[in-house]
Chains A and B, each alone.
Chain A
């Protein structure tokens, strides 16, 4: 079974703090993703990475950065936390399409980190 773990289930930070969210997957997946989930808005993609040291902006990258120094680990960084970044953050991974024959790209999610910025 694919396992995706996230460093914290709940986190409370103050406005202006730098926040690190860590995600680790154990299935040697090429692709990793960071989403935020807010009521009524669904999952919105922040950043994704298709290889070590590679990253691409998603739909809402402003105020966030990412780091992928190792294949299994993908970190999300809030440079200066703000109250509008209070949300559920979900990490996911998926197998590289090329290796999977392009047939399946389902994502496997971690349990989520509920971040509150006060």
Chain B
């Protein structure tokens, strides 16, 4: 069964304290892995797409990496405005248009 698991469920950081969020997946034929950011009361906002193991993408303080079994979202020197829920999602080659979402990691960054 295709599955996406994110850890930790919640993460509390001090401003400037770098860390990583994990997304492990089990799918048949990965087509793409997506990271989204979701602020409270809003819809998810697209961040990155990764297609193959070894691929990396960066945007400001965020860097996403991909292996054959998991993806990491690295946050370097976070700021309070980085506080949000980060969602990981995968699209499997055999699933047509179906995208499977993880439950998310809630990130809190304290000034």
Pairwise interchain contact A104-B43, C-beta atoms closer than 8 A = no
Category for how many chain A residues contact B: 20 to 34
Instruction: List B contacts of A90 (CB < 8 A).
Output: 43-44
Instruction: List A contacts of B87 (CB < 8 A).
Output: 42-43
Cβ of B99 under 8 Å from chain A: yes
| Min CB–CB distance B51 → chain A (angstroms) | 7
Total contacts A to B, CB within 8 angstroms? 58
Category for how many chain B residues contact A: 20 to 34
Q: Which of A14-22, A79-87, A108-116 contacts B (4 or more CB under 8 A)?
A: A108-116
Cβ of B91 under 8 Å from chain A: yes
| Min CB–CB distance B32 → chain A (angstroms) | 6
Cβ of A99 under 8 Å from chain B: no
Pairwise interchain contact A105-B43, C-beta atoms closer than 8 A = no
Q: Which of B41, B46, B91, B103 contacts A42 (CB 8 A)?
A: B103
Pairwise interchain contact A31-B97, C-beta atoms closer than 8 A = yes
Cβ of A58 under 8 Å from chain B: yes
Pairwise interchain contact B103-A40, C-beta atoms closer than 8 A = yes
Given A104-B32, A106-B34: A112 and B42 interface contact (C-beta under 8 Å): yes
Pairwise interchain contact B46-A108, C-beta atoms closer than 8 A = yes
Instruction: List A contacts of B31 (CB < 8 A).
Output: 105
Known: A50-B97, A107-B44. 5 other contacts (CB 8 A): A31-B97, A40-B103, A43-B44, A107-B46, A109-B45
26 contacts between A and B (CB under 8 A): A31-B97, A35-B101, A40-B103, A41-B103, A42-B4, A42-B102, A43-B44, A43-B87, A44-B101, A48-B98, A50-B97, A56-B96, A58-B98, A97-B97, A105-B31, A105-B32, A105-B91, A105-B99, A107-B34, A107-B99, A109-B43, A109-B44, A109-B45, A111-B41, A111-B42, A112-B42
